Amino acid sequence: MKIDPYQLPGQALLRWWIPAILLSLIALFLVACQPVSLPKGNLVKVDQVISGQALEIVGGNVDMPLQRVLLLGIEAPDLEQEPWGQQSRDYLAQFLSSPSHGSRQAPSPWLRMETDVQERDSQNRPLIYLWKDGILVNERLVEAGLALAAGRSPNLKYDIRLSRAQEKARLLGVGLWHPDHPMRQTPSEFRLHGLQN
């Protein structure tokens, strides 16, 4: 093996490593610049916000008439659970009608509806996750302390996200977790107690 007296030790390695590192960085940059994939599902418009969990929607295609749906993975306070039920409904209506964070454009009326394993509840109502501009609306309600995370098997697609959002709201003491005025009964307990009276 002939040694070149003018070549520094490790210089041959640098000739191969620098292009490899640069190529890797370029590939990483190109992957990072790809648009975020949207969840699969139908485009819908909200016709009316009924409560913090129930909406009336109409589909983007002619096959989907006006229908009442429930947000999946959450349990929002009943409207009779004052003041949380009304706050939850008002927050949801305001969030859906406002522009995205930092945007000055009018909000798009189109939202993305996504289902999970079980698409309907026992009363045949559609169960959905709702996305607005890449934000999971169900999660936003829980994070604001205006709904509880309520994972029910087999619909557990976003269960971890919703549980983390609830823990964040609880630790921050927002909404129904506010230490001066916490919600004492879950919506299920409230409904059960109301049926017994």
Name the residue with tokens 């087999």.
154
- For residue 5, being part of any structural domain is answered with no
**H or E stretch including 92?**
helix 84-97
- For residue 112, being part of any structural domain is answered with yes
Q: How many domains does the chain have?
A: 1
Residue 103 confidence (pLDDT) = 60
- For residue 20, being part of any structural domain is answered with no
**H or E stretch including 71?**
strand 67-71
Domain span including residue 152: 42-196
Calpha distance 127→82 (Å, rounded)? 25
pTM for this one? Answer: 0.75
pLDDT digits over 1-12, tens only?
566 555 555 565
**H or E stretch including 15?**
helix 11-32
pLDDT digits over 8-39, tens only?
555 655 566 676 676 676 766 665 555 444 45
- For residue 143, being part of any structural domain is answered with yes
CATH number at residue 122: 2.40.50.90
Residue 182 confidence (pLDDT) = 92
The share of the chain scoring above pLDDT 70, in percent, equals 74
Strand partners, 132: 135
